[in-house]
């Protein structure tokens, strides 16, 4: 059923299924940052949890979004999950 739903979602997205990109290569730290963001943490809380500055977390998010071709944090999380980069 999950596969059927994913196929339907892809069909309605207007994207060409043949143009699916291979998974992006995120660094370990980028994966850590994205996992916390996926859990609902804002940049300041993510920074505190990882012992980073908010500015550093923002830079990680810019890099993650660029690598994944995402326009928003939410889109980055969705793409990462679809590519198997996040649970």
pLDDT in tens, 48-67: 999 999 999 999 999 999 99
pTM of the entire predicted model: 0.74
Query: Which residues does 49 contact at the CB level (< 8 Å), separation at least 6?
Result: 36, 41
Tell whether the model's pLDDT for residue 71 goes beyond 90: yes
Tens-place pLDDT, residues 17-53:
455 566 779 999 999 999 999 999 999 999 999 999 9
Tell whether the model's pLDDT for residue 74 goes beyond 60: yes
Pair of tokens at residue 43: 């940049």
């Amino acid at each position: 059923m999950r596969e059927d739903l994913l196929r339907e979602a892809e069909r309605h997205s207007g994207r060409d299924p043949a143009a699916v990109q291979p998974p992006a290569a995120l660094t370990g730290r980028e994966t850590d940052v994205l996992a916390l963001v996926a859990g609902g943490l804002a940049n300041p809380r993510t920074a505190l949890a990882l012992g980073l500055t908010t500015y550093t977390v923002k830079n990680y998010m810019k890099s993650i979004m660029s690598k994944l071709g995402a326009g928003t944090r939410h889109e980055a999380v969705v793409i990462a999950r679809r590519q198997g980069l996040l649970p």
